[in-house]
Structure 1
Amino acid sequence: MTQDSRPRSPLAMVLLALLAEEPMHAYRMQRLIKTRRKDDVVNVARSNSVYQAIERLLRDGLIEVREKLAADTGPARIVYALTDDGRAALNRWMDAALATPAREFPEFRAVLAVVAITGPDLVADRLAERAEALAATLDVAEREERTSREWGLPRVLLLEHEHLVAVTRAELTWVRGVVDDLRSGALTWDTEEMLASRPPE
């Protein structure tokens, strides 16, 4: 699988998917991401993130300017459309993202990789806090999932939410298990001993 077969970014893939529905301007794309709650899936916290992604898609020839709409105030709104190359890229990206787990580097796994440099009691305390946060996230996610089903939304529109619930539930179970092992002493270590036993470079 070539590098180009993977999405350049989750946001780029979502923008191409929106333009596969119909041509639209950047503000509408940003609004749809938020109203459809896809801002839980892609990071659009910075106001210019959508515009930066659009510029790259334009440079790569995956989208094109369809028209410029005059505005009563401010600059004209530019309507973008998907190109044939953009549609082909979207299909490749979706195939790759669905079929093959990406090699990702999440912060939590990184801290677990170096956690032996601190003490078990501190780790237990911090993980207990994480468990509380995960439980709160799971409670909200499960409530939203029930509400969405009551509204009769098709399941295909809820798959990313189902995944959030499943992954959060699994992580919460694992974190609670590690906290229990740390509290009982089933999992412990001596930080100084761990540092002294580092393999030579």
Structure 2
Amino acid sequence: MTTPGKSSMRPTALGLVVLGMLIEQPMHVYRMQKLIKERGKDKVVNVRQRTSLHQVIDRLTTHGLVEQVGEGDASENYPSRRSYRITPAGRQTAIDWLTAMVTEVPDEFPQLPAALSVLTMVAPDTAAELITARITTIEHTLNELRSERGGYEVPRIYLLEDEYRTRGLESEAAWLGEVRHDIERGELTWTAPDAPPYEPEEPK
């Protein structure tokens, strides 16, 4: 039996979700993937390919955070049917990861701030058009989130990630609207080098 302790495995969102599900009960990879989709967790972790789950399970197993249940489940022909359970070390690691991910603000490098830092590459009117296009994309995403949320018959606690994404997108759209307003009024302006105008893509 593995004893609890600090794991050397790097924390990952998918790894935390898997550990959280195995805290509920032992299960096989197919069941994990199904529950992740049923609970809408596929909006916050990438499980489009079941191989992603197998890879994270392999890493969790290597680090002693989960273990296979029973020798009889080790079918090479049907690896998705192998059941796994969390170990004591896995439980402690899950709490450690959860604590860190909730309380810490990591140094991340998302694309939008990088793009905004060089917005002067284009003229102000082009920048306003780009911002408008992003606001439109955000509004489309928000509509999808609200529509999907109505289809989940689960307690609110299991949808907090959707609330977080929704509030974040709403705040972003509102702030971008203010920036666009300032550009259009000439309160935020600059001289850009020669650059081709923005041409939105034709809808597919």
TM over 0.5: yes
Partner of 1:17: 20
Shift of 1:158: 2.2
**Residues 120 and 190 of structure 2 are in contact (CA less than 8 Å); yes or no, is this contact kept in structure 1?**
yes
| Root-mean-square deviation over aligned CA pairs | 2.7
AA matched with 2:14: L
**Residues 6 and 93 of structure 1 are in contact (CA less than 8 Å); yes or no, is this contact kept in structure 2?**
no
**Aligned pair partner of 2:62 in 33, 41, 59:** 59
What is the identity percentage for the equivalent residue pairs of Structure 1 and Structure 2?
Answer: 35
- 1:48 equivalent in alignment to 2:51: yes
Deviations 1:116-160 (A, max 9, x none): 223222221111011111112223333444x369x5x43212211
Count of residue pairs brought into register by the alignment: 187
How far apart, CA to CA, are the structure 1 residues paired with 2:7 and 2:120? 38
Matches within 5 A, 1:51-200: 51-67=54-70, 68-69=72-73, 74-76=77-79, 77-145=81-149, 147=150, 153-192=154-193
Q: 1:18 to 1:38 in 2, by over 3 A?
A: same
Deviations 1:15-52 (A, max 9, x none): 11011111111111111111111001111223311111
Shift of 1:100: 1.8
Deviations 1:174-194 (A, max 9, x none): 11111122222211111349x
TM-score normalised according to structure 2 size: 0.80
Q: 1:25 to 1:144 in 2, by over 3 A?
A: closer
Give the unaligned 5+ runs of structure 1.
Answer: 194-201
How far apart, CA to CA, are the structure 2 residues paired with 1:38 and 1:75? 24
**Residues 62 and 83 of structure 1 are in contact (CA less than 8 Å); yes or no, is this contact kept in structure 2?**
yes
Q: More relative contact order in 1 or in 2 (CA 8 Å, sep 6+)?
A: 2
Shift of 1:94: 0.8
**Residues 7 and 63 of structure 2 are in contact (CA less than 8 Å); yes or no, is this contact kept in structure 1?**
no
**Residues 61 and 67 of structure 2 are in contact (CA less than 8 Å); yes or no, is this contact kept in structure 1?**
yes
Give the unaligned 5+ runs of structure 2.
Answer: 1-5, 195-204
TM-score normalised according to structure 1 size: 0.82
Higher helix share: 1
Partner of 2:197: none
AA matched with 1:169: E
Q: 1:186 to 1:130 in 2, by over 3 A?
A: same
Over 6 Å off, 4+ runs: 3-7
